Structure 1
Amino acid sequence: MTKRRTLLTLLSLILLVSVLSACGSNNGNSSNTGGQESSTPSANTGDKKEQPEPVTLTIWVTSREQDDFGAQMEKEFLDSHPHITLNKVVKEGDPGNEFYQAVAAGNAPDFVSVSFTMMDKYMKAGILEPLNNYVDNWDEWSNFNKTYVDMFTVDGKVMGVPNGVSPMLFGYNKALFEKAGITELPKTWDEALEVAKKINDPSSQVSGYSTLAAEWTEWFFQYYVWQAGGDLTKQNADGTAEMTFTDPAVIKAAEFYKQLRADKVLQSDLTLKFDNLIEKFAQGKIGMMPFAGDWVSWAISLGMKPEDIGLMLPPAGPSGKTATAIGGSTFVINAKTTQEKKDAAWEYIKYQISKDYMTKNFQNIASKGAGNPVVMVRDDLNINDFFDFPEEYAEVLKSVTDVGRLEFYGKADFGVYVDRAVQKLLTDPNADPTKEFEAAQKLAASEVLDSFNEKSKQ
């Protein structure tokens, strides 16, 4: 499994737990029966009630185990759709990451929940069924937030239905801030650095600031590049990419990383993996770090007091603006399966993203304890109707839509080269940012750029 897939596994698995965990078929999808793609939907699209012929959906699930709520809701669906049978196949990690390979191998499911990051690749590959004939005939479709719908609408074709949105925010430990006498949240990189110095306490193994340094460094690093006013790649109108690893904003972000390291406010152990950082944050050993809303319950499960978890927008960089990523998951239908299976897959998707299902799902999560401050994909639902979150959470979630964006173009292909450069800069005090990113861009261009552009031309 590549670093890219492992990363997406972590993000998507957390999202699915918070949004769809109650259903054992959270990434449900059906196996490809080898049927040909049909350009004309059958009569039973939308909400029509006639019973189609029996159909079996082979769905990918992360586990066969279900809680009582999941079993109840699945039974409700099957009872109301007697022509549909579910054949569950366990797929470890994030099933959505393997959808592309499964389509190529001819054994793909009929539908799957895909991370936002993978959608660009999948939409270009022609493996996703346009959903217009379904959503246009569904009376709940107008309640979905247009911002997230438009992300996956191409030339008027709806290629995916968002089922969960979790923005990358900035987490801080309120107890550590109070102990250090910090009363104002940092608004800029420079302010964040000064706050980190006040919190930093090597004698107690507390680091004022933390970021990924041992793996997937491109994940967090891209936010700093955006905050500095640039990007790591540029998407052309024809779908091809230009690499901008040497953009001045990239170098500014790299220099800020080196400053954090030079001032010794980063975690002292740069070999810590992603889950280790979350553990350290939960243990009160990290003052602040990039932090997603759907990690709140994770940190609490590791022993952190809910009242100690602060969330804010990331501090602004040299551009004077803040910027971050919008992550999430999207239901898609396999364009290569039979029309009957497409129709049945839509019925299953429609059920799981209905207002009734989502309401019951969040009520079930709330009844069991801590929830996550995530962005609702539906405008007729509010996360605060289910959980008693601090007022600052609501403000941050409201503001993040204006500063959030999808991850940098081609990240799945080019990210590993950024990762290597950032790791070198953090571990070698003498490494020069410009030289390291020039070398990274040259290597990426020689190894993957041409093939990426060939596949991406529209």
Structure 2
Amino acid sequence: MSRKRMGWSRWVALTLVLALSAMIAACGSGTKNNEGASAGNSTSPSAANTESQQPANDPQVEITIWDQVNPDDIGKLVGEELQKGFEEKYPNIIVKHELPPNGTNDREVFVTAMAGGNGPDAYSVAYFPVIGDWVKQGFALDLSDYWNGLADKDQYLKSAMEGATIDGKVYGIPNFMYATGLLYNKKLFADVGLDPNKAPANWDEFAEYAQKLTKPEKNQYGYALLGMDWADWWFEYYVWQAGGDLTTRNADGTVTLDFSKEPAVKALQYYKDLKWKYKGVQKNVLQGIDENKTDFFQGRAAMILFGSDGFAQLVQNGIDLNDIGFAPFPVGPAGKAPSQVGGQYWIVNPKTSKEKQDAAFKYVEYMTSKEALEKMLTFQSDNGIMPNLLSVRNDVDPSTFVQNVPAGLVAGVRKAAESTQLEYFLKERLSPYVVKAVQKVLVDEKADPLTELKAVEELAQREVADPYNKEIKE
């Protein structure tokens, strides 16, 4: 997802899989780009004669949710079915299902609407790395009392709740999450004499594999490296593997920048070596993620980083799932390689009335329930759609809804999800600075990783960290 989106959903923003995951969260919308869409709304009819948990004589309340089902959505029917199910359960809650306002970036659209007092009563696309910022900006309601009253709150994965739990308070309910790992082409492995069932285990093996899999005469290379857009998104994984992180969130809420510390320097040197020493990556290291994934789909890239939510893309692009492998990242000097976990939360508007907040949370609870998630998984199964293999709930197992998927893929996802880590603190604001250093060593062989990281760290300290820390202390 972006910084513009920080997370994996950006990877699938214009594909089927995000459309479906967003529908799980919001029954239809939540894509990154709504340009060309006409804003509109439809008011859901009540169903007063239907059995409901809410007495029919309760006061009627109307809420607005940005989840209008587009006519061309592949999951239109199941999306509307979920919305109707809520109407029948709560006939006194009238939901206006709207499309988000036009815009190229869903985060900017939401923030602009909230700042102007025009935000929805609940929103389903609060990404894991940005929810903290939105809490600080007053865009997310403290849901602790609602959360404590949930009978099935223990069914939500602890790793899914981590990003939404801030200073002991709960601000979001997860609707979608993914774990990342290494995706590789088994056929290309076999072609160069590598074991197709064995992923590289460490940095040395990874570099060796990338080098061996690079065949310029075949327009083939070993590893699709991300140097454009959100280069820090994948780069941070290597910092973790080297034993550190890019920032530290201190006990008092302030941030310390760790760009120039040893783990980050080691990681950037390794990145540089993959490009200049081993020559195991694409020639155009500044190409974007869409070009990277196209290279993998078309057999030009042998390895790429991937999320547990992306397998539908492979099928869409004609790839036999038996021809690919998925494994945890290779470990680095620190002897570890945590998977990045990311996803989306439902949040509730703190600026609306208590009556609307109560109703909005009922909608959130319904849309993240076992019933709703399994209804979506059943739809996907019935229509031959590969689901995200990682659920936000312990009592929902996506693999039981999948047929003809290699057991190795499911096992690989579960293995990668055993050790996870959230993206670095304050990533949304600091991303451009880290990206600048990453890109410099990828385009300039003479660039020194430590020098470049120190330069962007000093700049980020003045422009981001110092103002942020001052605000926190005030």
TM-score by length of 2: 0.86
Q: Is 2:118 the partner of 1:103?
A: no
Match of 2:139 among 127, 144, 158: 127
C-alpha contact (below 8 Å) 2:64/2:122 kept by paired residues: no
Match of 2:193? 181
C-alpha contact (below 8 Å) 1:176/1:199 kept by paired residues: yes
C-alpha contact (below 8 Å) 2:27/2:82 kept by paired residues: no
Match of 2:394? 379
CA shift for structure 1 position 93: 5.7
Taking a change above 3 Å as real, the CA distance of residues 273 and 420 of structure 1, as seen in their structure-2 partners, is same
Match of 2:46? none
Match of 2:415 among 399, 416, 423: 399
Match of 2:265 among 247, 251, 254: 251
- In 2: Cα distance, 1:12 partner to 1:413 partner: 22
C-alpha contact (below 8 Å) 2:179/2:308 kept by paired residues: yes
Residues 217-228 of structure 1 correspond to what in structure 2 (within 5 A)?
Answer: 217-228=231-242
Match of 2:367? 352
Residues 87-102 of structure 1 correspond to what in structure 2 (within 5 A)?
Answer: 87-91=96-100, 92=103, 95=106, 98-102=109-113
Match of 1:37? none
Letter in 1 for 2:201: K
Query: 153-162 or 176-185: which moved more?
Result: 153-162
Match of 1:236 among 210, 229, 250: 250
Letter in 1 for 2:245: D
Taking a change above 3 Å as real, the CA distance of residues 442 and 349 of structure 1, as seen in their structure-2 partners, is same
CA shift for structure 1 position 139: 2.6
Q: Is 2:10 the partner of 1:10?
A: yes
Q: CA RMSD in A?
A: 2.5
C-alpha contact (below 8 Å) 2:223/2:301 kept by paired residues: yes
Q: Is 2:328 the partner of 1:317?
A: no
C-alpha contact (below 8 Å) 1:56/1:341 kept by paired residues: yes
Aligned residues: 440
Taking a change above 3 Å as real, the CA distance of residues 331 and 173 of structure 1, as seen in their structure-2 partners, is same
C-alpha contact (below 8 Å) 1:27/1:59 kept by paired residues: no
Q: 1:380-421 CA distances to partner (integer Å, 9 max, x unpaired)?
A: 111211113322233333333442111111111111011011
Letter in 1 for 2:335: G
Taking a change above 3 Å as real, the CA distance of residues 93 and 305 of structure 1, as seen in their structure-2 partners, is farther
C-alpha contact (below 8 Å) 1:174/1:310 kept by paired residues: yes
Specify every segment of 5 or more residues in structure 2 that has no aligned partner in the other structure, as ranges. Answer: 32-52
CA shift for structure 1 position 304: 2.1
Match of 1:276? 291
Q: Is 2:369 the partner of 1:369?
A: no
- In 1: Cα distance, 2:150 partner to 2:57 partner: 17
Taking a change above 3 Å as real, the CA distance of residues 25 and 457 of structure 1, as seen in their structure-2 partners, is farther
Match of 2:170? 158
Taking a change above 3 Å as real, the CA distance of residues 391 and 274 of structure 1, as seen in their structure-2 partners, is same
Letter in 1 for 2:236: Q
Identity %: 31
Other structure's SS at 2:221 match: coil
Q: 1:39-92 CA distances to partner (integer Å, 9 max, x unpaired)?
A: xxxxxxxx6646532222222237633522212222222233222223233225
Taking a change above 3 Å as real, the CA distance of residues 49 and 454 of structure 1, as seen in their structure-2 partners, is farther
Taking a change above 3 Å as real, the CA distance of residues 247 and 51 of structure 1, as seen in their structure-2 partners, is farther
Match of 1:57 among 51, 54, 63: 63
Query: 271-280 or 155-164: which moved more?
Result: 155-164
Match of 2:94 among 76, 85, 95: 85
Taking a change above 3 Å as real, the CA distance of residues 137 and 6 of structure 1, as seen in their structure-2 partners, is closer
CA shift for structure 1 position 94: 6.1
C-alpha contact (below 8 Å) 2:327/2:416 kept by paired residues: no
Specify every segment of 5 or more residues in structure 1 that has no aligned partner in the other structure, as ranges. Answer: 29-46
- In 2: Cα distance, 1:20 partner to 1:214 partner: 25
Taking a change above 3 Å as real, the CA distance of residues 348 and 12 of structure 1, as seen in their structure-2 partners, is farther
Match of 1:453? 469
- In 2: Cα distance, 1:441 partner to 1:62 partner: 43
Match of 2:431 among 415, 420, 428: 415
- In 2: Cα distance, 1:440 partner to 1:205 partner: 34
CA shift for structure 1 position 237: 1.0
C-alpha contact (below 8 Å) 1:312/1:392 kept by paired residues: no
- In 2: Cα distance, 1:209 partner to 1:11 partner: 17
C-alpha contact (below 8 Å) 1:18/1:294 kept by paired residues: no
Taking a change above 3 Å as real, the CA distance of residues 278 and 62 of structure 1, as seen in their structure-2 partners, is farther
C-alpha contact (below 8 Å) 2:389/2:399 kept by paired residues: no
Q: 1:266-286 CA distances to partner (integer Å, 9 max, x unpaired)?
A: 012223211111111111111
C-alpha contact (below 8 Å) 2:6/2:428 kept by paired residues: no
Match of 1:42? none
